[in-house]
Structures are given as C-alpha cells and as structure tokens.
Amino acid sequence: MNTALHETDIAKTTAPVTTCQLKGSLFTLTVLLIYNSDINQLEKELQEKVKYAPHFFQHTPTVLDISQFKLAEVPDFFAIQTCCRRLGLIPVAVRGGNQTQHMGAQHAGFAILPAAKEEPAVKKTVTIASKQQRQEPSASSSSAQSQSATADKAPSVTETTSKAKNKIITKPVRSGQQIYNGEGDLIILSSVSPGAELIADGNIHVYGTLKGRALAGVNGNQHARIFCGRLEAELISIAGQYKINEEIQCYSQDNHLQIYLEHNQLLIRPL
C-alpha cells in the first residue's frame, strides 16, 4: 500500500510540463513597398535608405507590399529576400497582390497578410451625405424639413469624433513600454523616453518631449497627426510614411511642433 502511494506521488511529480503556448500580440513592422521586379534598382535604393540609419534597420522584421505589381507579374521572392537580408532587413511576410503571387511568396517561405485598409469609412459617409444634400431641392419648407431630418439621422464629423475612444496617459512613458490605441487619439500628458513606443489609429499628442517612437494612423488614416512639445524622436510615422532620428534632428531645438502628411510627404511644422 505504501509502495503504491509512493509511485503515485512520483508520477505526479514527473508529469509532463506544457512546453509551448500560442498567444496573440501586437508588433510594429516596417513595410517595404516595391513597385517592380528590378532587383538591382531595389538594392541600390535600399542601400541609400539604410546608410543613414544602419543600426535602425539591422535585423528589422519587414513586410513586403507588392500591391503595385502588375497582376500577371510574379516577383522573384527569393531574390528579394536575399537582397533585403544582405542589407540587414528580414522579410517575414507579404501583403497585397493576387493568389498567383501569394503562391510564389509562400513557396519562398513568406506569410501572407491582409491588404492595407482603405480610407476610413467616416470620411466616405460624410462625403456621401453631403452629395445627397446638394441634390435635394431646398425651395419649399417641406423640403427643408426633410433635409433637416436626413441630416439629423446621418452621422456628422462632430458626432463620430465624439464617439472615438481616446486614451489619456498621465504619467511619463518609460523605455520599453508600448502604448496602443486602435480606436482614437493617444494623449500623453508627460514625456516619452527613448525606447518607448506610441501607436494609434488617430492622432498622437505628447505634451512633453517625444524621444521614443510615435506611429499615428497605423490603420491607414492619412489625416492623423502627431503633436509634441519637443521633438527628439527615434522615429515618427503617419499611415506608414516615416522619418527616423537622423532626418529630424534639425527640429530638436524647436518647441510645439505638428507632424502631418501632405501629398504623401511627412511634414514637420510649428504649431
């Protein structure tokens, strides 16, 4: 009897322990938009970009965006992979393209990600509503009342903005921290340390000094902006367009800046 109990205790002690666990997480990835299959030109242009910040791009996981390729053109993914790795980038996935192109990417070991999102639906809804209002007659009072009723039902910019879930952080954001808001603005009432990361679909406001990374409009919102009291960031990005520290050092002595997109160019201007 004692022997049986002893063996049971040993079995419990030596029971196999779980060796793995699958979990969801959020990461910021660099996206490389490729327009054609000219590998030599790709490597030349990448070298120009990487030389300004070699440490930043070293061992950087990268997504290849092939949405600009012709439908009948299948990129040489092995050659692209070799080119990127030679310069420090590590391609991990592909987005955009068609099924045939995806098969080529999977053969080279790439994951397939969903295509980039279109412009936010709020802007489209407001535009449609304004077109309807221009088409409706406004001569009679009954028509005016009908317009008013339609306008009350249609979502307005103010109403939609007020429903956005903004996130406010009252304490300094320390190195290694990542703060994400996928439903509105991210507002930091203090400063952001080097190595910290801010990510938002809407605007990013930093009342103090921004020294880490700030990525606004991450879901494709090109109207998002970044505001900061002082700019010493490692990286700033809006809807995928970004600048690294070496490109923005000339603004480090300026106060109260805003960053926004205009004609796909990231601009930095005083408030």
Q: Dump pLDDT digits (tens) for 8-62.
A: 555 555 556 788 888 877 677 788 889 998 999 999 998 887 776 666 677 889 9
- Of 180 and 29, the structure prediction assigns the larger pLDDT to 180
The single-letter code of the amino acid at 271 is L
Residue 256 contacts residue 271 (beta carbons within 8 Å): yes
Write the pLDDT tens digit of every residue in 198-250: 999 899 999 999 999 999 998 888 999 999 999 999 999 998 888 888 888 88
Per-residue pLDDT, 72: 85
Alpha carbon distance 230, 227 (integer Å): 9
Cα separation, 206 vs 190, in Å, equals: 7
What does the pLDDT look like over 133-178, one tens digit per residue? Answer: 444 444 444 444 444 444 444 333 333 333 568 999 999 999 888 8
Helix (H) or strand (E) holding 3: helix 2-13
pLDDT of residue 218: 85
The pLDDT of residue 159 = 34
Tokens of 207: 């009342």
Helices (H), 99-140: 99-107, 121-135
Q: Residue 112 and residue 56: Cα distance in Å, rounded?
A: 25
Predicted confidence at residue 117, as pLDDT, reads 62
Q: So what's the pLDDT on residue 138? A: 44
**C-beta separation of 208 from 190 below 8 A:** yes
The CA distance from 234 to 243, in Å, is 9
- Say whether 64 sits in a helix, a strand or coil: strand
What's the rounded Cα separation, in Å, for the pair 174 and 164? Answer: 26
Residue of higher predicted confidence among 134 and 192: 192
Point out which residues pair with 261 in neighbouring strands.
266
If we measure between CA atoms, which residue out of 30, 44, 95, 96 comes closest to residue 242?
30
Q: For the CA atoms of the chain, what is the radius of gyration?
A: 25
Instruction: Specify the pLDDT at position 131.
Output: 39
* pLDDT at residue number 98: 93
Cα–Cα distance, 188 to 100 (Å, whole number)? 45
**The pLDDT of residue 53:** 62
pLDDT digits (tens, 9 = 90+) for 85-142: 999 999 999 999 999 999 999 999 999 998 876 544 434 333 333 334 444 444 444 4
pLDDT of 250-268, one tens digit each?
A: 888 888 999 999 988 899 9
State the number of CA atoms in the 13 A half-sphere of 187 facing the CB.
Answer: 9
Q: Give the total residue count for the chain.
A: 271
Partnered with residue 181 across adjacent β-strands are 200
pLDDT computed for residue 134 by the predictor = 41
Q: Taking CA 36 as the corner, what is the angle to CA 34 and CA 40, rounded to the nearest 5 degrees?
A: 90
Q: Are 91 and 84 in contact (CB under 8 A)?
A: yes
Using the CB atoms, write b or e for 141-175: b if 16+ within 10 Å. Answer: eeeeeeeeeeeeeeeeeeeeeeeeebbebeeebee
pLDDT at 177: 87
Domains of the chain, each with CATH number or no CATH: 30-113 (3.30.70.260), 163-270 (2.160.20.70)
Look up residue 239 and give its two tokens. 């809807």
pTM above 0.75, yes or no: no
